Each structure stands twice: as structure tokens, then as C-alpha cells.
Amino acid sequence: MRETSVMFDKTLEDHINCFKKLDRLRGPIDKAANMIISALMAGQKILICGNGGSASDAQHFAAEIVGRFTRERSAWPALALNTDTSILTAVANDYGFENIFSRQVEALGQPDDVLIGISTSGNSENIIRAVHQAKRMGMQTIALTGEGGGMLDGAADTAVSVPSDVTARIQEAHIFILHFWADATEAALLANEES
């Protein structure tokens, strides 16, 4: 019992310390939010991709954009590229796992759409290839990563690199940032509709 209590205190302390450092990321977080807002205002769509827990975050964010976050409103276009098992397994089988997202970007992306690539390490090859494909097509790209940003840091137009090397803390910060983007997007687009 004592061990779990100590473990809880340590985990909570690590979480709080990570979140306190997020203020350093205000610039890239705001820049990414504005990219998302501008794209949706212009009638473009948001594509999101990730592996494992980051795949769950991609689906979560797409649901917030298509459904709603906290406000009643019309639906906006967003798609998590890690959800269609037939596409994922066909492309992985025929073209390799490293191409499961770039192939979908090629098929679904349009110039000025936004791709959000989520990778705690910043070095997931399939996310890197998706970002490169998106940029070749004239899309805007956002990387959501952990400390240092990995290879995605220099590949994406905007990189938000959470200052932690602990996967759990990075993922906790990622969902906070995605929630902020959803909230900021709703506020901006609804204000625009009302004006």
C-alpha cells in the first residue's frame, strides 16, 4: 500500500512538472492552432495519423472536430488515417508498413489541407513519410512529438515537442494540446459564423 502511494505521488509530480513546461511551447501551439483554424475556415480538411497511443489520440481529435468538443455547431472535416483496417493492412502488405499513412495522404489530401503527425519519439518512419508526402502536395504539416522532436522536428512546418522523454507524460500532454486545439477551433469558427 505504501509503495503505490509513493508511486502515485511521484507520477503526479512528474505529470505536473511536465505540464508546467508547456508554457514554453505557447508559440508553436498557437501557430498550429491557427493553421487548423485557417484551413477549416477555408473549407479544407484535417488529416491526423499516429501509432499505438498516438493512433488513439488521432481518432480522439478527429472525433472532436467532426462531432463537437464543447459547443453545438456544424460538423467539420477531419479524418484519422489509422482507423481503416482494410486500407492499413492492404497498404502494409503491398507497400510496407512505413507507407500506410503516406499512401492515404496521397489519396485523400489536397493542397492547403493540414496533416497532424503524432509520434512521441518523433522518429516513426510512417509518420515522417506522411509528412513528406503532404508537403510535396502543398499541404500544411504539424508534428506533435516528445522532447527534441526527432526527425519530425525539422520535417514538419510546425513542431510541438513536449519537453519530456517519458512516453506516458508526453501522451498526457498531447491530449491536453489536442483538446486546446479543439477548443480554440470551435471558439474561432463559431465567432466567425456569428460575425
pLDDT tens-digit readout, 71-103: 999 999 999 999 999 999 999 999 999 999 999
* pLDDT more than 90, % of the chain: 95
Residues in Cβ contact with 47 at an 8 Å cutoff, skipping those fewer than 6 apart: 78, 79, 81, 104, 105, 108, 109, 113, 114, 115, 116, 134, 139
Instruction: Provide the number of structural domains found in the chain.
Output: 1
Chain-centroid distance of CA 122 in Å reads: 12
CATH of the domain at 18: 3.40.50.10490
Contact 51, 126 (CB under 8 A): yes
Q: What is the DSSP string of 104-120?
A: HHHHH--TT-EEEEE-S
Q: How far apart are CA 124 and CA 173, in angstroms?
A: 19
Q: How far apart are CA 77 and CA 62, in angstroms?
A: 8
Domain that holds residue 143: 2-194
Torsion sign over Cα 175, 78, 33, 141: positive
Residue 63 pLDDT > 90: yes
Nearest in space to 48 (alpha carbons), one of 140, 117, 110, 106: 117
Q: How far apart are CA 124 and CA 5, in angstroms?
A: 35
- Residue 2: pLDDT band (50, 70, 90) is confident
